[in-house]
Amino acid sequence: YETLLIKDIIDVIWKRLHPTSFTSVENSVGLDSSMNSIDLLLGAGVDDVRFIGIWGMGGIGKTTIARVVRERISPEFEFSIFLENVKDNVQKRGLISQQREILSRISMKTIDIFDVHEGSTMIRRLLHHKKVLLILDDVTDSDHLDYLAGKQEWFGSGSRVLITTRNEHLLIEHGVKRRFHTTLKKNYIELSSCVVSYADGLPLALKVLGSFLRERHVSAWNSALGKLRGICNIVLGTLQINYDDPDDKEKKIFLDIACFFNREKEDRVIEILDSCGFCAGIGIDVLIEKSLLTNSYVTLWMHQLVQEMGCEIVNRECLDEPGNRSRLWRHEETKHVLSKNTVRGLLGTDAVESITTDKTGPVLHANAKCFSRMKKLRLLNLANVNLSNDLEYLSDNLRSLEWAGYPSKYFPSHFNPENLLELNMCHSHIESFWTGVKLLYNLKIIKLSHSLNLVNTPDFRGFPNLEYLILEGCIRLYKVDPSLGMLERITQINLKDCKKDCGLTNTLKNHSVHMLKRYENAPSIKVLSHNYISKLCIRNYICLVLSHE
């Protein structure tokens, strides 16, 4: 009995003096600047209780920093507790399991608790007078913080609670004012420039790629670099954890940005995605909080590996047939779907929601009939696409229709895209719009610049929210429908290089127009002073004055 008692005493002392060891971080790179910032937040020697948050995208080194912090400062505390992968452990064993872990580390014995409220009460009771270092790694839910580290009053003087998360908003909600944002590291000069470019500063990517290339001769790197995308499933898998959290609309926003809108102006992206019913402003904020997206100078920016993850998610919707995926953007896959027209049946191209082609890519010859099964198509951005026959159908679900060089003379006869936001068909072969009035209340932009065969415009009464009408270089245009003068939101009209009068002067008499680029080659129109007739004004001050000679 005495021997067993001595052994128990030794075990308790050993556990207190030698906390659980962690993976060595001595070879980690790029941590010096981060640790300097963390040290300032920790405030060594100060007796207050501090909550410190470390947030950033998956794989970027938050857990590594937390481990370094523990190894460096744990001797200063009575107890040091590191709860790793809180999200995964809560999903597998429940939040009570994490509470029991904390309690057992403090009491050195197993404590039975039966609900989270009892657990939080016991944690507070045991830690109230103890100086503790508590690290909660990969926190994804406010309940994790509420029931594991509720308030500063739970902890004894000098305690520190360190939280790592992908979501800064969780830290803000919990009142964590001391927050450190882990950003992309770009100072790994030891690695090949190609590897660094591909990893783009993600430590997790560098770890996977570095392991793959380690001890290989430099002459073998060129062939190895071609395989990088095939060995990064570990990286993509870790990053996908961020993606798995948002709701369905946020996932669609994420995939649209990954496939089509990376490095686009945020305002335009929000407007287009809002027209799809996605509440894009809030959704983009959530993606930024999840570190899946950043906003730099009003431009949305997505890390290369995060973008590849999004593209891979779309690929996995159907590995064998691109026509059964929601989004098409690669030339060969788009060519396959548009030209072969091989997918049939109820599924088929009915799955396709968005298509884009490379404006600088080769000419693509499409079968016009393939569009007849794309009922869900909402974003279409084509260039250098010719049709083998007349276009009989386009989806009424379209929000954005961009088709540079549109090859048909007319729109499909039954085309009625009532939710269309922008129509951009520069250099098209179109001759005229539909007859009669179509009610397109959401339409804000019409661009048909350099459509050399266009002879007239549509009736504008169905477009009360039109803001931009760009018809520059439409040299055969002879008539602008007089209903243009009824539009109250129009802010820009461009008829530069149109050769004819089109009756525009009388149409816009006394109407508010922000900018009118005059007909430079039309002898019947000239700019005069404000003493003459046919004034065009903006918010009650003279902007431009036109008059017939």
pLDDT of residue 207: 58
Cα-flanking dihedrals φ and ψ of residue 81, to 5°? Answer: -125, 125
Ordered domains of the chain (ranges, CATH): 2-181 (3.40.50.300), 246-316 (1.10.10), 322-548 (3.80.10.10)
Name every residue whose Cβ is closer than 8 Å to that of residue 231 and which is 6 or more positions away in sequence: 208, 209, 212
Q: DSSP character for 358?
A: -
pLDDT of residue 21: 44
DSSP 293-344: -EEETTEEE--HHHHHHHHHHHHTT-SS-GGGSSEE-SHHHHHIIIII----
Strand 525-527 to 535-538 pairing: unpaired
pLDDT of residue 479: 84
Q: Are the beta carbons of 410 and 432 closer than 8 angstroms?
A: yes
Task: Give 78: exposed, middle or buried? Use CB within 10 Å, 0-12, 13-18, 19+.
Answer: middle
pTM of the model: 0.66
Q: Are the beta carbons of 165 and 138 closer than 8 angstroms?
A: yes
pLDDT of residue 191: 42
The whole-number mean pLDDT for each consecutive block of 10 residues of the chain, a chain of 549 residues, reads 65 54 46 81 90 86 89 90 92 90 86 88 92 94 93 94 93 92 54 60 60 52 52 57 70 94 94 94 88 86 86 91 93 89 54 89 88 93 89 94 94 93 96 89 95 93 93 89 87 80 58 41 34 32 33
Helix, strand and coil percent figures for the chain, each rounded to 5: 40, 15, 45
pLDDT of residue 108: 79
